[in-house]
């Protein structure tokens, strides 16, 4: 019978399923696969889908290749207890590598290629996405720290310059506080222009009610329009899915 195909895949026939039910429980899957001209993985998968399992007699036979008690069957591909690998102790040596492998290995702390080109030195400065001047305070991450601590240190490689100026004069920034510009100009980094505020005070300073009434009204209207657009989009999505 000519095989049938769907979407480019060969479909399973009734005769193949019957052969799996008849032969698969009592012989190796590879043998059954040869009988029906299928791959061994495909035969295993089809047997599982049909709910066909190996028989108890086959599982204890030599053909199964299973290791049962002290029976040596299946031992050919296993490492026995106490086996000593041929390369034991070799890879533990510092700088060990066969042939010229060491020439192409990464060295701890070494940078090359694009990473070296993008690396900024300590004290380099940049403008953040929020418009603040930032300065790089260190490059190397100390060894022996936890992964969480290392990630925190990576995030603090760049510090806002106005915060560094304030800390140089007053000590570490207290938890839950921020350094703000008195005149609102982020470029005017002078100690006399900096003040320490709590996060709550900073939020009140930045609220729209401190802007002129026309600007505050425009911000509120924009928010209302965006909320209405999102609500309409959700209603349209619900209507289509219904």
Q: Are 19 and 36 in contact (CB under 8 A)?
A: yes
Residue 73 has pLDDT above 60, yes or no: no
Looking only at the bridges linking them, the beta strands covering 133-136 and 125-127 are antiparallel
What are the tens digits of pLDDT across the range 13-59? 999 999 999 999 999 999 999 999 999 999 999 999 999 999 999 98
pLDDT surpasses 60 at 74: no
Within 8 A by CB and 6+ apart from 20, the residues are: 32, 36, 43, 46, 47, 50, 52
- Tell me the C-alpha distance between 55 and 63, whole Å: 12
Query: What is the reported pTM?
Result: 0.45
Asked if residues 159 and 167 have their Cβ atoms less than 8 Å apart, the reply is no
Distances (CA, A) of 116 to 26, 37, 211, 220: 62, 56, 46, 47
How far from the centroid of its chain's Cα atoms is residue 169's Cα? 41
Instruction: Name all domains of the chain by residue range, CATH numbers in brackets.
Output: 10-64 (no CATH), 121-209 (3.90.75.20)
pLDDT tens sequence across 110-157:
777 787 777 888 889 999 988 999 999 888 777 777 888 888 887 888
pLDDT range class, residue 205, cuts 50, 70, 90: confident
Residue 19 to residues 31, 142, 163, Cα–Cα distance (Å): 11, 65, 77
For residue 182, which of 166, 194, 170 has the smallest C-alpha distance?
194
pLDDT, residue 115, reads: 74
């Amino acid at each position: 019978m000519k095989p049938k195909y769907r979407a480019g895949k060969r479909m399973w026939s009734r005769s193949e399923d019957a052969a799996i039910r008849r032969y698969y429980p009592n012989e190796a899957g590879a043998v059954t696969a040869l009988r029906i001209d299928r791959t061994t993985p495909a035969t295993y998968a089809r047997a599982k889908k049909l709910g066909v399992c190996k028989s108890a007699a086959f599982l204890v036979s030599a053909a199964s290749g299973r290791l049962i008690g002290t029976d040596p069957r299946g031992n050919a591909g296993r490492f026995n207890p106490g086996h000593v690998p041929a390369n034991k102790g070799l890879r533990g040596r510092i700088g060990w590598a066969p042939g010229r492998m060491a020439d192409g290995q990464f060295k701890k702390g070494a940078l090359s290629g694009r990473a070296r080109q993008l690396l900024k030195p300590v004290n380099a400065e940049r403008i953040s996405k929020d418009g603040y001047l930032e300065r790089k305070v260190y490059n190397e991450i100390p060894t022996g720290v936890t992964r969480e601590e290392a990630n925190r240190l990576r995030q603090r490689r760049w510090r806002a310059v106005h915060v560094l100026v304030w800390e140089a004069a007053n000590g570490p920034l207290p938890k839950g506080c921020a350094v703000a510009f008195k005149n609102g100009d982020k470029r005017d980094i002078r100690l006399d222009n900096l003040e320490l505020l709590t996060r709550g005070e900073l939020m009140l300073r930045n609220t729209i009610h401190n802007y002129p009434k026309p600007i505050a009204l425009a911000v509120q209207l924009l928010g209302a329009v965006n909320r209405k657009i999102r609500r309409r989009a959700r209603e349209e999505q619900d209507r289509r899915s219904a």
